[in-house]
Amino acid sequence: MKPAIAPIWSRLGAAAETLRGRHLRDLFAADDGRFTALSTSWQGWLLDYSKQRIDADAMSLLTDLWRAADLPGWILRMRDGEAINHTERRAALHIALRHPASKGPILHAGQDVMPAVHAELEKVRRFCAEVHGRHWRGATGEPISDVVNIGIGGSDLGPRMATQALMAFRHPDLRVHYVANLDAADLATTLAALQPRTTLFIIASKTFTTQETMQNAASARAWLVQALGEAAVARHFVAVSTNLAEVARFGIDPANAFAFWDWVGGRYSLWSAIGLPLALAVGFDNFEKLLAGAHAMDEHFFTAPPHQNLPGLLALLEIWNTNFLGADTRALLPYSQSLGLLPRYLQQLEMESNGKPVDRQGQPLDHAVAPILWGEPGTNGQHAFYQLIHQGGRLIPCEFIACREPDFDLPGHHARLLANCFAQGEALMRGRTVAETTAELLAGGMAADEAARLAPFRSFPGNQPSTTLLLPRLDPHNLGALIALYEHKVFAESVIWDINPFDQWGVEYGKQLASRLLPIIEGRAAATGLDSSTTGLIAWSHAAAKRS
């Protein structure tokens, strides 16, 4: 731990011990102004963290932690293009991808990256116009009706999540699909509903060697060639990659390859040409609004003081819950079906970024990082895992996200949705005592002995912390800001925890082992040097294949 942080860390520990014995309902009862003091707004957004198990003194200490960790200095290092991803000796300049050309240069290795960024965006714009205008035709001369994005990880989750989130803005003449899993069921079930002559594939892989992506790409290519012939590949495949030699070898004209840069991490790449399927799905004008929303959040994060800084507040509250109250998980609960993939997207962004064992000096951490993130849209989750949150006895901080206005306006739906969202936060905070439950049952006409018998089962401890983020509506601008909010939250946490959020060596190790095992599983190499479990699994699968 950084020496500058240690004294504040110790004081936060003492503050947590003081608050540990206080119930949230008592904190509210003692302070009529709690909501006003522990909430903030920005451009029509509201962040209410008054239901967190915290008080003004602890919040003051957390903002001291922000300054002691030198968040302002780290923000400048990121903006200046320093190699803050120090293990890979790379900058982390995803903010450049949504930086307006009118706002001046952003430098990397002394060069302004903005001309190249905007040239690539212009290329995406032109391509979208060709497809939407029905000028891009397949090999048989027919316009494109379906687009299949083949990628994985950051080349899939970001645009996939955003495409679902913006279904209310979908282009009426184009359907966009996503394939990521190496399991053939993912690709096969997608292709079963498509026609080769009207399908366009986007192969998204920076190196054009990612095993899952390239296997799916090869199978999609074979499907197309079987129907339309080898020459059709050039009209039905485009690429997002930097490896133009492999792109050309695949049969894609390098002129139809879209670039991005090594200073863009995969899980931060939605804003680049990786967002091509999203731009096709909702139109380039809406894609630009997404970029503008993200840039607006960038400016807020860079300039707002910690007690008003939305990404900073979320980061500080998570550090409080994780390191001082002992939570090892967080439930993300969007009361929006359109945001149904947001928990999965943020699992990658948060846990792949901050799930690290050592600090920036390579020393083992002496504190917890990156709680387990999970969730499901409301109200579905209420009929699944909310029971555990309410009565399961675990500390599970919850994060509710809702919109004041619906993106699909059917009468009778949205008010009920908001009522459920707000009610769950209240129930988690307040709980219900045995005495309150007994009184309620008696008031309903239940006999005293039966009320006494049932009251323990119908009571709830409450005191579960939660935050509610209320957006005006789910549109491209607000979605861009929401995604950028969590990017900056992750970065702020990493600075305080003193870890590198931009590498992912654990993921790379698994890929390395899979490459070693593949020839053994395929029967092209002997199973030597493996542990007995892995050897046994391979032997069993070989024997089972022979029996079948």
Active site residues: 352, 383, 511
Pairing assessment for the beta strands 111-112 and 466-471 based on DSSP bridges: unpaired
Quick check: 272 and 260 in contact, CB under 8 A?
Answer: yes
Contact of 237 with 253, CB cutoff 8 Å? no
Output the CA–CA distances (angstroms, integers) from residue 511 to 44, 209, 211, 506, 525, in the order listed: 44, 12, 9, 9, 18
Contacts with 153 (C-beta within 8 Å, 6 or more apart), sequence order: 180, 266, 267, 348, 507
Contacts of 127 (CB under 8 A, 6+ apart): 136, 238, 258, 276
Q: Where are the alpha helices (DSSP H) in 322-475?
A: 342-346, 353-354, 386-391, 414-430, 434-443, 448-454
Kind of pairing between the strands at 329-334 and 237-240: unpaired
DSSP conformation class of 367:
S
Rounded distance, CA 507 to CA 184, Å? 21
DSSP-derived secondary structure letter, 321: I
Dist. CA 206–CA 46, nearest whole Å = 38
